[in-house]
């Protein structure tokens, strides 16, 4: 099964590690450090070039920023 995470991106559900709500956690130092490290390693992807990033989706291979809320992503996971 695949999970649609926004834009034209889907990720295999079996590769999913975590879904992080950036609206609630973006200002946390650990979250900022994690995203900066992922960007410096070239592992950070975005579902859209513009718009507010609400959710961080961590998979085995990549880390994605999505403008879709963490609640919506979670509901999609439960529906798979």
pLDDT in tens, 1-45: 999 999 889 999 999 999 999 988 767 899 999 999 999 999 999
Q: Which helix (H) or strand (E) holds 11?
A: strand 9-12
pLDDT at residue 69 is higher than 80: yes
Neighbours of 59 (CB within 10 A): 19
Beta-bridged to residue 9, according to DSSP, are 6
CB atoms within 10 A of CB 44: 17
Q: Is 55 exposed, middle or buried (0-12, 13-18, 19+ CB in 10 A)?
A: buried
Are 53 and 42 spatial neighbours (Cβ–Cβ below 8 Å)?
no
User: What distances in angstroms separate CA 33 from CA 40, 53, 63, 76, one per listed residue?
Assistant: 11, 16, 14, 28
């Amino acid at each position: 099964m695949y999970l649609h995470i926004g834009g034209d991106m889907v990720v295999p559900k079996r590769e999913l590690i975590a879904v992080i709500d950036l609206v609630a956690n973006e200002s946390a130092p650990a979250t900022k450090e994690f995203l900066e490290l992922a960007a410096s390693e070239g592992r950070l992807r975005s579902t859209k070039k513009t718009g507010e990033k609400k959710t961080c989706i961590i998979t085995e291979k990549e880390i994605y920023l999505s403008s879709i809320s963490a609640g919506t992503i979670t509901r999609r996971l439960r529906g798979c």
